[in-house]
């Protein structure tokens, strides 16, 4: 039996962090990218110091294979580091951007890995004056670690194919996530051959120690933040489902209670990864934003049915135990630079914007919300939004209907400039479906809003 909450969530306007709280550590994009670049240079230096002469075609091919192999091995560990859910990176860069970096780096790494296997085999074949296929079979048969690495490489390629946008759209988040876990097995299979057959590591103890340390540190970060921390949070805060409220067609709010929730340091606009410990969904961890500020020992998320996991939330029973990891994301007031703020939301993307509407500092007229929906019934949390807007003197514009009904794109540059005077002097927070978000970013840029003042969050996987 599902518990249904009939009361509205009471807005707590102007929620602020407790006085005296030290600011959370944030590491921005520039130092991270610089660090990645320095590491890549160190990897190339390792190859350079272990290379004497290159004279024949076989030498050129083999050394190209060595370079691509080193860069692939380095790229793998960077990919894991970006997704280790390190709080300082999540707050300073944002999950949305980290995910895009991870996707881009994944394509690069799979390319380097494939090039490494082909170039090394070709180079050895040229030197040994044999066929490429024969040389490949010889390597796999003669060196067990190479066989394991080959299996790992095949896994990497399969995961890369599955991660392509066209393939992702055909599967649920849960299935994609399970397949993606194969990355850890692929890395484990490929690791040992670097030391046993890699010319840059074989017999080079300092290089082996440095490489192992890099992999070890990232592994510890993964274990700590993705396994230990959620377990520790579960034991400390004892989150439980308090009840479920129907908000609209296929949209529910889940209310959660627990202990010491202020210690989570959750900022409006952030999200958690939620694991509801029921027989059907205990294994799935999905990202959902808070749809109200933490208040009175209660958390709330508002979710639209988009698959098996989200659909099951409507059937949650009071008392269901919950594990949560987070908070994550840089979609917060901390990135704001201008007094005037525009919030643009569509669909269930309104949830983090509702918390920002309530909590962002501002005088009457400083904050504007544009809410895009196809039907009036899709305007979830409307009563709360209007109450908050009335109390704070914020403006709310509902853009409801299809493009045909509205006579074109309601979020085109000229329409945005009409609705929001002096738009180019605003900070803009944008959250919604990826296609709408991308088009609206273009409209905002056309309207003169600087790229650095367009803040957006997407949960596309």
**Final residue of a structural domain among 289, 308, 328:** 328
* 264 and 129 in a common domain: no
Query: In this structure, is residue 91 part of a structural domain?
Result: yes
Q: Copy the structure tokens of residue 210.
A: 């440095």
In terms of average pLDDT, the best of 87-96, 111-120, 185-194 is 111-120
Neighbours of 246 (CB within 10 A): 13
* 270 and 130 in a common domain: no
Each residue of 253-284: pLDDT tens digit? 899 999 888 888 888 988 888 888 888 777 77
Residue 174 pLDDT exceeds 70: no
The span from the CA of 353 to the CA of 292, in Å, is 9
Which one-letter DSSP state was computed for residue 383? Answer: H
On whether the CB atoms of residues 300 and 255 are closer than 8 A, the answer is: yes
* 136 and 52 in a common domain: yes
* 311 and 342 in a common domain: no
On whether the CB atoms of residues 388 and 343 are closer than 8 A, the answer is: no
Residue 459 pLDDT exceeds 80: no
pLDDT, residue 171, reads 67
Residue 66 banded pLDDT, cuts 50, 70, 90: confident
* 36 and 71 in a common domain: yes
Give me the chain's average pLDDT, please.
Answer: 83
Q: Answer whether the bond into residue 140 is a cis peptide, omega within 30°.
A: no
On whether the CB atoms of residues 293 and 12 are closer than 8 A, the answer is: yes
CATH number at residue 252: 2.40.30.10
Residue 252 pLDDT exceeds 80: yes
Each residue of 28-63: pLDDT tens digit? 889 999 999 999 999 999 888 888 778 889 889 988
The CA R_g of the chain, rounded to the nearest whole Å, is 25
Query: In this structure, is residue 346 part of a structural domain?
Result: yes
* 253 and 185 in a common domain: no
* 139 and 69 in a common domain: yes
* 63 and 96 in a common domain: yes
Higher pLDDT, 6 or 429: 429
Query: In this structure, is residue 398 part of a structural domain?
Result: yes
* 257 and 174 in a common domain: no
| DSSP codes, 385-450 | HHHHHHHHT-EEEEEES-HHHHTS-TTSHHHHHHHSTTGGGSEEEEES-HHHHHHHHHHHHHTT--
Tally of structural domains, the chain: 3
Neighbours of 128 (CB within 10 A): 12
Show the domain range for 404: 336-457
* 415 and 393 in a common domain: yes
Query: In this structure, is residue 85 part of a structural domain?
Result: yes
* 214 and 69 in a common domain: yes
Q: Copy the structure tokens of residue 429.
A: 């927070």
Residue 15 banded pLDDT, cuts 50, 70, 90: very low
Query: In this structure, is residue 448 part of a structural domain?
Result: yes
CATH number at residue 388: 3.40.50.80
pTM above 0.85, yes or no: no
DSSP three-state, residue 376: helix
What is the distance, to the nearest Å, from the Cα of residue 176 to the centroid of all Cα atoms in its chain?
14
As a whole number, mean pLDDT of residues 434-447 equals: 88
* 261 and 192 in a common domain: no
Each residue of 195-223: pLDDT tens digit? 766 677 777 888 889 888 998 999 999 99
**Final residue of a structural domain among 328, 346, 373:** 328
Query: In this structure, is residue 139 part of a structural domain?
Result: yes
Q: Copy the structure tokens of residue 44.
A: 């190339």
DSSP three-state, residue 306: coil
**Final residue of a structural domain among 328, 360, 382:** 328
Query: In this structure, is residue 174 part of a structural domain?
Result: yes
């Amino acid at each position: 039996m599902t518990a249904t909450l009939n009361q509205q969530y009471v807005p707590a306007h102007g929620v602020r962090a407790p006085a005296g709280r030290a600011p959370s550590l944030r590491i921005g994009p520039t130092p991270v990218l610089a660090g990645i670049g320095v590491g890549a240079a160190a990897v190339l230096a390792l190859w350079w110091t272990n290379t004497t002469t290159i004279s024949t075609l076989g030498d050129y091919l083999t050394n190209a294979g060595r370079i691509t192999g080193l860069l692939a091995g380095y790229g793998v560990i960077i990919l894991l580091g970006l997704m280790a859910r390190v709080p300082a990176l999540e707050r300073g860069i944002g999950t949305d951007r980290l995910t895009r970096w991870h996707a881009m780096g994944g394509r690069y790494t799979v390319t380097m890995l494939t090039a490494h296997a082909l170039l090394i085999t070709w180079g050895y074949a040229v030197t040994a004056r044999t066929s490429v296929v024969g040389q490949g079979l010889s390597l796999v048969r003669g060196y067990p670690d190479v066989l394991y690495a080959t299996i790992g490489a095949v896994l990497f390629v399969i995961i890369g194919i599955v991660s392509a946008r066209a393939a992702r759209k055909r599967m649920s988040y849960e299935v994609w996530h399970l397949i993606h876990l194969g990355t850890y097995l692929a890395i484990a299979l490929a690791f040992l051959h670097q030391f046993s057959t890699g010319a840059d590591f074989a017999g080079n103890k300092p290089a082996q120690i440095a490489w192992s340390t890099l992999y070890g540190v990232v592994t510890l970060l993964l274990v700590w933040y993705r396994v230990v921390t959620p377990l520790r949070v579960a034991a400390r805060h004892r989150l439980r489902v308090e009840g479920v409220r129907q908000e609209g067609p296929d949209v529910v709010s889940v209310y959660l209670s627990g202990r010491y929730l202020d210690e989570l340091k959750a900022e409006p606009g952030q999200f958690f990864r939620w694991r509801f410990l029921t027989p059907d969904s205990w294994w799935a961890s999905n990202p959902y934003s808070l749809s109200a500020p933490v208040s009175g020992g209660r958390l709330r998320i508002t979710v639209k049915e988009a698959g098996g996991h989200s659909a099951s939330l409507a059937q949650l029973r009071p008392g269901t135990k919950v594990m949560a990891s987070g908070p994550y994301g840089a979609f917060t007031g901390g990135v704001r630079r201008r007094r005037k703020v525009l919030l643009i939301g569509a669909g269930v993307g309104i949830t983090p914007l509702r918390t920002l509407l309530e909590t962002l500092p501002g005088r009457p007229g400083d904050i504007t919300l544009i809410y895009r929906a196809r039907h009036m019934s899709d305007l979830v949390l409307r009563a709360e939004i209007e109450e908050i807007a009335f109390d704070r003197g914020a403006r709310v514009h509902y853009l409801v209907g299809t493009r045909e009904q509205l006579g074109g794109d309601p979020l085109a540059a000229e329409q945005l400039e009409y609705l929001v005077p002096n738009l180019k002097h605003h900070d803009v927070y944008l959250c919604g479906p990826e296609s709408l978000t991308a088009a609206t970013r273009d409209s905002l840029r056309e309207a003169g809003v600087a790229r650095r003042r367009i803040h957006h969050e997407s949960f596309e996987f």
